[in-house]
């Protein structure tokens, strides 16, 4: 009987397609890339020479790619600290089976996200991913196979794609621009100063914008990294050495023809969070729409980069692995107030809180999103995970997040 059982277990293990990964080397007291004052030799814990990591995004309209209300991912580029860069650093690791590698590591959620948000203009996503990995990914020093303990072949590949997607999710360019009234239009034009100010106010630092035929089509966000790309901290920084190809005035931000990202879920089933599934059916008719106006009872869903990532709980904190709190919205003045089971909600010392001693703030709504002081952008130190709750603030921080009302 015991033999039979172990055979069954062995057969089951063999059937699992998942590779067992090693782990990135532990880094103690890592230095911030591009900010060192003496040479740093351990390039597994210090990104060099590519120490300025750029999360680059596309806005493709001809043809359109991705959702009509979200930017898409271009890549993650290790620029030198002066904006020059190396490319195609290790032809022996220029893999031509990115999809298969990600599947072999069980990264199906990552792949489905990439299929929606990391898309090739000619429809050949696999080739685009191979290009980004081979040209840029192989130049990231901390992703070298020698930087892993118990390295299993190609495990740096899922690390590269996962980190790029995780960063992209914190950089919601569409909402940053829309909050400043910069929305896609076939006729309107914007100045470079308007666009960069809107992005800087969301990101905290200047960014680099690119244009093609007079239309905005790329945004580059720069980071220095403390530690490895896999496990280190990405610290926003002003760009060094990159230049913009946009003219200063008359910039178009053309509409995409795709469908908007939909975050609506059937309200009857939405009592517990589900962060890994995104409902793409029943697209809302508004490009930035929530599923209702702020009145009666509802949930405040957190939206980063066009996808739902948890919601607010009763104290007004952001959580991704529990039950969403029910909020009551009541018309007041030119807007509405919000209340949870803890009490009234308000902005106090730049923080969103709900409690018995909180003075209710009159909020407004914009495109289905909660708005305060004319902006739908709120901030947190990080995207919460596990049992961590994040405080929500109106002053700039690492992560920008918007809140969509979902009627109960
Ligand atoms: C920072 O470290 C890199 C890698 O060791 C080195 O090439 C560079 O010269 C250092 N920068 C300074 C200012 O010492
Ligand atoms: C991907 O390609 C590499 C290099 O050809 C190969 O060694 C590896 O086994 C492939 N991985 C998968 C999961 O197919």
Which residue among 101, 107, 130, 155 is best mutated to probe the pocket of ligand 2, counting the most ligand atoms within 8 A of its Cβ?
101
Out of 136, 155, 156, 404, the active site residue is 136
- The mean predicted confidence, pLDDT, of the chain is 87
What pLDDT score was predicted for residue 289?
Answer: 36
What pLDDT score was predicted for residue 114?
Answer: 97
Q: What is the 3-state secondary structure (H, E, C) of the chain?
A: CHHHHHHHHHHHHHHCCCCCCCEECCCCCCCECCCCCCCCCCCCCCCCCCCEEEEEEECCECCECCCCCCCEEEEEEEECCCCCECCCCCHHHCCCCHHHHHHHCCCHHHHHHHHHHCCCCCCCHHHHHHHHHHHCHHHCHHHCHHHEECCCCCCHHHHHHHHHHHHHHCCCHHHHHHHCCCCCEEEEEECHHHHHHHHHHHHCCCCEEEEECCEEEEEEEEEEEECCCCCCEEEECCCCCCCCCCCCCCEEECCCCCCCCCCCCCHHHCCECCCCCCCCCCCCCCCCCCCCCCCEEEEEEEEECCEEEEEECCCCCEECCCECCCEEEEEECCEEEEEECCEEEEEECCEEEEECCCCCCCEEEECCEEEECCECCEEECCCCCCCCCECCECCCCCEEEEEEEEEC
Average pLDDT, stretch 76-92? 98
- Residue that has been written with the tokens 């190609």 in this structure: 154
Burial 75-90 (b: 16+ CB within 10 A, else e): bbbbbbbeeebeeebe
Residue 155 CA to ligand 2 center (angstroms) comes to 11
Q: Cis peptide leading into 49, omega within 30 of 0?
A: yes
C-alpha 374/C-alpha 289 separation (Å) is 17
Residue 102 CA: distances (Å) to CA of 18, 20, 94, 156, 372: 9, 12, 14, 10, 41
Q: Report yes or no on whether pTM surpasses 0.75.
A: no
Q: Identify the residue whose C-alpha is closest to ligand 1 atom 7.
A: 39
Same domain? 174 vs 320: no
| Residue 276 included in any domain | no
Ligand 1 neighbours, Cβ below 6 Å, are 36-40, 48
Same domain? 338 vs 225: no
Same domain? 101 vs 180: yes
Same domain? 195 vs 325: no
Those residues whose C-beta lies under 8 Å from the C-beta of residue 389, and which sit 6 or more positions away, are 313, 315, 317, 318, 319
The atom of ligand 1 lying closest to the CA of 48 is 4
CATH number at residue 160: 3.90.730.10
Report percent pLDDT > 90 for the chain.
64
Same domain? 213 vs 301: no
Average pLDDT, stretch 299-311? 80
What pLDDT score was predicted for residue 234?
Answer: 97
Measured torsion, CA atoms of residues 333, 394, 117, 86, in degrees rounded to the nearest 10: 150
- pLDDT higher than 50, residue 58: yes
Average pLDDT, stretch 209-221? 98
- pLDDT higher than 70, residue 291: no
| Residue 282 included in any domain | no
What pLDDT score was predicted for residue 332?
Answer: 84
What pLDDT score was predicted for residue 117?
Answer: 97
**Positive or negative, the Cα torsion across 66, 282, 290, 310?**
negative
Strands 343-348 and 335-340: antiparallel
What pLDDT score was predicted for residue 288?
Answer: 33
CB 143 within 8 A of CB 137: yes
Least reliable range by pLDDT among 6-10, 112-116, 198-202, 401-405: 6-10
| Residue 148 included in any domain | yes
Structural domain boundaries, residue 91:
43-252
pLDDT, greater one: 22 or 388: 22
| Residue 106 included in any domain | yes
Q: Which ligand is nearest to the CA of 105?
A: 2
74: annotated active-site residue:
yes
Q: What digits encode the pLDDT tens for the residues 143-184?
A: 999 999 999 999 999 999 999 999 999 999 999 999 999 999
Average pLDDT, stretch 41-58? 98
Residue 82 CA to ligand 1 center (angstroms) comes to 12
- pLDDT higher than 70, residue 271: no
| Residue 274 included in any domain | no
Domain's final residue, options 220, 235, 252: 252
Which residue among 39, 84, 224 is best mutated to probe the pocket of ligand 1, counting the most ligand atoms within 8 A of its Cβ?
39
- pLDDT higher than 60, residue 10: no
Average pLDDT, stretch 54-79? 97
The atom of ligand 2 lying closest to the CA of 104 is 13
Same domain? 314 vs 235: no
What pLDDT score was predicted for residue 349?
Answer: 82
Residue 297 CA to ligand 2 center (angstroms) comes to 52
- Crossing angle (nearest 10°) for helices 156-169 and 108-117: 50
C-alpha 363/C-alpha 346 separation (Å) is 9
C-alpha 221/C-alpha 27 separation (Å) is 25
What pLDDT score was predicted for residue 408?
Answer: 82
- Cβ-based neighbour number of residue 27 at 10 Å: 19
Measured torsion, CA atoms of residues 163, 183, 263, 407, in degrees rounded to the nearest 10: 140
Strands 215-226 and 233-236: antiparallel
* Band of residue 400 on the pLDDT scale cut at 50, 70, 90: confident
Same domain? 100 vs 226: yes
Identify which of 355, 336, 331 has the alpha carbon closest to the alpha carbon of residue 345.
355
Measured torsion, CA atoms of residues 91, 97, 103, 105, in degrees rounded to the nearest 10: -20
| Residue 70 included in any domain | yes
* Band of residue 33 on the pLDDT scale cut at 50, 70, 90: very high
Same domain? 60 vs 137: yes
Ligand 2 neighbours, Cβ below 6 Å, are 95, 97, 100-101, 104, 153
What pLDDT score was predicted for residue 258?
Answer: 80
Average pLDDT, stretch 297-304? 86
pLDDT, greater one: 35 or 7: 35
Identify which of 307, 309, 274, 273 has the alpha carbon closest to the alpha carbon of residue 382.
309
Q: Identify the residue whose C-alpha is closest to ligand 1 atom 2.
A: 39
Residue 41 CA to ligand 1 center (angstroms) comes to 9
Same domain? 340 vs 402: yes
What pLDDT score was predicted for residue 286?
Answer: 32
Strands 296-304 and 307-312: antiparallel
Out of 130, 132, 218, 390, the active site residue is 132
Number of domains within the chain: 2
């Amino acid at each position: 009987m015991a033999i039979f059982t172990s055979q069954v277990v062995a057969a089951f293990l063999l059937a699992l397609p998942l590779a067992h990964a090693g782990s990135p080397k532990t880094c103690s007291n890592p230095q911030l890339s591009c900010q060192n004052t003496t040479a740093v030799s351990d390039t597994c814990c210090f990104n060099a020479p590519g120490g300025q990591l750029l999360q680059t995004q596309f806005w493709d309209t001809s043809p359109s790619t991705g959702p009509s209300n979200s930017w898409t991912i271009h890549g993650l580029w290790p620029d030198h600290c002066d904006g020059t860069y190396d490319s195609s650093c290790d032809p022996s690791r220029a893999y031509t089976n990115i999809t298969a590698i990600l599947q072999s590591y069980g990264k199906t959620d990552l792949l489905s996200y990439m299929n929606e948000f990391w898309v090739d203009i000619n429809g050949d996503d696999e080739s685009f991913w191979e290009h980004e990995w081979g040209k840029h990914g192989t130049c990231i020093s901390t992703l070298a196979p020698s930087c892993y303990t118990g390295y299993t072949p190609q495990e740096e590949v899922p690390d590269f794609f996962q980190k790029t997607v995780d960063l992209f999710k914190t950089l919601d360019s569409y909402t940053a621009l829309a909050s400043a009234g910069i929305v896609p239009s076939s006729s309107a034009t914007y100045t470079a100063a308007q666009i960069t100010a809107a992005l800087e106010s969301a990101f905290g630092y200047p960014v680099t914008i690119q244009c093609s035929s007079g239309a905005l089509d790329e945004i580059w966000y720069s980071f220095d990294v403390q530690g490895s790309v896999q496990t280190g901290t990405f610290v926003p920084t002003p760009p060094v050495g990159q230049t913009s190809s946009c003219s200063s005035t008359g910039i178009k931000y053309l509409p995409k023809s795709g469908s908007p990202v939909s975050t609506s879920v059937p309200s009857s089933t939405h009592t517990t969070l589900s962060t890994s599934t995104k409902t793409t059916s029943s697209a809302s008719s508004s490009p930035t729409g929530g599923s209702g106006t702020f009145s009666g009872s509802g949930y405040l869903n957190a939206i980063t980069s066009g996808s739902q990532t948890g919601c607010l709980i009763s104290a007004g904190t952001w959580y991704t692995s529990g039950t969403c709190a029910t909020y009551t919205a009541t018309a007041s003045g030119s807007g509405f107030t919000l209340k949870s089971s803890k009490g009234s909600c308000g902005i106090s010392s730049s923080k969103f809180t709900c409690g018995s001693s909180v003075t209710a703030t009159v909020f407004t709504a914009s495109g289905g999103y909660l708005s305060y002081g004319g902006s739908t952008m709120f901030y947190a130190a990080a995207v919460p995970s596990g049992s961590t709750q994040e405080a929500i603030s109106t002053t700039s921080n690492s992560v920008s997040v918007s809140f969509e009302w979902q009627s109960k």
